Amino acid sequence: MKNKENNFAFIDGQNLDLGIQNMGWKLDYVRFRKYLTELVFKPTIPDSDGNVKGNIDADLVLQAMLDFSNYDKAIIVTSDGDFYSLVKHLYKNNKLCFVMSPYIQTCSTLLKKEAKEKIVFMDNLRKKLGYK
């Protein structure tokens, strides 16, 4: 009997939203949550104009490293090259399940390089994860 892996997903939500919008569709987060099985959302605070900006980069990297011993594999959801060093470290230590990039055309070259064969693109998930 195979043991179920304890995997975590670390999601750059703003990058995910913008990537999906650039492809002309809207992500159904309920279906996306089911798709990934478990998500942890970072709380956000609106600025003085009421706009919400996550600035998730540093928090995501820190949380991935703080939780490093708690998960078998990590799923990183972003197209942002700022995460290339995290992806490189996870890959090197056999902790990278995959990188899920919203859009192949806007995905960082550095991220693609470090994720190697462990990168998937959401371009083909519209029917499965888009609003109906």
Instruction: Give the residue with greater pLDDT, 102 vs 92.
Output: 92
State the average pLDDT for the chain. 84
Q: What are 121's strand-pairing partners?
A: 101
Q: Dump pLDDT digits (tens) for 43-98.
A: 666 777 776 666 678 888 998 999 999 999 999 999 999 999 999 999 999 999 99
Of the candidate ranges 1-5, 35-39, 115-119, the one whose mean pLDDT is the lowest: 1-5
Over 47-116, what HEC string results? Answer: CCCCCECCCCHHHHHHHHHHCHHHCCEEEEECCCHHHHHHHHHHHHCCCEEEEEECCHHHCCHHHHHHHC
Q: Specify the CATH class of 7-41+53-129 in words.
A: alpha beta
Question: pLDDT band at residue 38, thresholds of 50, 70 and 90?
Answer: very low
Q: Where are the domains of the chain?
A: 7-41+53-129
In this prediction, residue 13 carries a pLDDT of 83
Pick from 86, 120, 80: nearest CA to 100: 120
